[in-house]
Homo-oligomer: A and B are copies of this chain.
Amino acid sequence: MTLKFGLANILNENTGNVSGNVSTTMFGVYIVTIKDIAKACGVGVSTVSRVLNNKPDVSEAVREKVLEFVEKSGYIPNNSARDLVKSSSDAIGVIVRGMGNLFFSSILKTVSTEIDKSDYTMVLHFIDSGEDEVKAGAVLEREKKLRGLIFLGGRYDYSPEELSIIGVPYVCCSYSNSFGTLDEKSYSSVTIDDYLTAYNAVKHLINLGHRRIAALVPACCDRSVSQLRFNGYKAALKDSGIEFDESLVMETGGIYGLNEAYEGTKALIERDAAFTALFTASDSTAIAAMKALEEKGRRVPDDCSVIAIDGLNISHYVSPTLTTMVQPADEMGRECVKILLDILEGWGENRHVRLETALREGGSVKSI
């Protein structure tokens, strides 16, 4: 029986707002105390306490009576006393690197909700895309006495020495350590296969007849997600016998900025490269790229197809609807919290989860 959030009533032992009898008030919120429950059920306060704390030595009839009343009244247990005797903190740190990334908003909500469901508390900290999430995590760990950490976004090239300043279990959410030297057993990660997802996106374009395919990525060699996706792009070209053409690649800088993508696409067009399709590393940069294409007189998809990776909700509603590889954001958030809780509770060890992506066809890609 869960008696936590979403119930109608609030127990309030301290404010003095105690109703002797439980009754609907004019504003629809009850105040119920453990004494009210005891009185209403005709038992002692300690008996109610035993029932609420799932202790033995209470008759089944009394237990049922109390629980039934509690359910009806919507009593919410006060955890303060329990908190006070806890010897260690219940804090899980979440470091969000780059809130401009719309993909992170949806994951963050899931991560927060899942931590709420547990007995832990989320301590959130935002940093900019260029900042060091590991140092931010180490500081947060000390300041808030964290039990564990979730990094929402980060570098792909950690060394064991760098990560030695993190003294609690941690999960890399939406990224892994592809370019680093961490022992797999020393950390956890939940990601998509960035390389394969980019490969499949570009393959989709090739299957529709495209051979002059441009790439708009933050960086080709940043030892991070962008490099993995760029490598997937190159591999797809190679496997189809299409020669790699450097003039079709535009690097926009590290932070998936909308304006950088918009300006980058314009610059790509001004190079006079005759591309028929554009692969972009994220949905939001694809939206900015489509804007630049349109302003330069290239209709999407008639003059140029555009494909991306993310699957944001807003991408359904831009014109044309964006064709994109969907990352399972909710599942990603849930898995991260699950792994961390398993470790903290001693139920599991570090592990690495790769989630599948799926093509969502919109109107931004056509065959030629």
A residues lining the B interface (CB < 8 Å)? 4-8, 10-12, 14-15, 17, 25-29, 31, 76, 78-80, 83, 99-100, 102, 105-106, 108-109, 112-113, 116, 121-126, 131, 135-136, 138-139, 142-145, 159, 161-162, 164-165, 167, 258, 262, 284, 287-288, 290-291, 294, 313-314, 316-319, 321
Contacts and interface: CB of A to CB of B under 8 A. Distances in A.
Contact of A159 (B27, B122, B145, B288): B27
A122 B124 CA distance: 7
19 contacts: A5-B139, A6-B135, A12-B165, A15-B167, A28-B162, A29-B161, A29-B165, A79-B143, A80-B143, A102-B105, A112-B124, A113-B126, A123-B123, A262-B317, A284-B314, A287-B314, A290-B317, A291-B317, A319-B319
A194 to B, nearest CB: 23
A100 B102 CA distance: 10
Given A121-B123, A125-B112, A126-B112, A102 B314 contact: yes
B124 A124 contact: yes
Contacts of A318: 287, 291, 318-319
Given A6-B131, A161-B25, A165-B10, A313 B258 contact: yes
A253 B179 CA distance: 48
Q: Which 10 A-B pairs have the closest CB atoms?
A: A27-B161, A99-B109, A288-B317, A291-B317, A105-B105, A27-B162, A109-B126, A10-B138, A112-B126, A124-B124
Given A123-B123, A258-B316, 13 more contacts: A10-B135, A27-B159, A28-B162, A76-B142, A78-B142, A83-B145, A102-B314, A112-B124, A112-B126, A122-B124, A258-B313, A290-B317, A291-B318
Contacts of A314: 102, 258, 284, 287, 314
Contacts of A6: 131, 135
A136 to B, nearest CB: 7
Contacts of A4: 139
Nearest to A8: B135
A79 B144 CA distance: 9
A207 to B, nearest CB: 27
Contacts of A145: 80, 83
Q: A76, A139, A290: which has the most chain B beta carbons within 10 Å? A: A139
Contacts of A313: 100, 258
Contacts of A262: 317
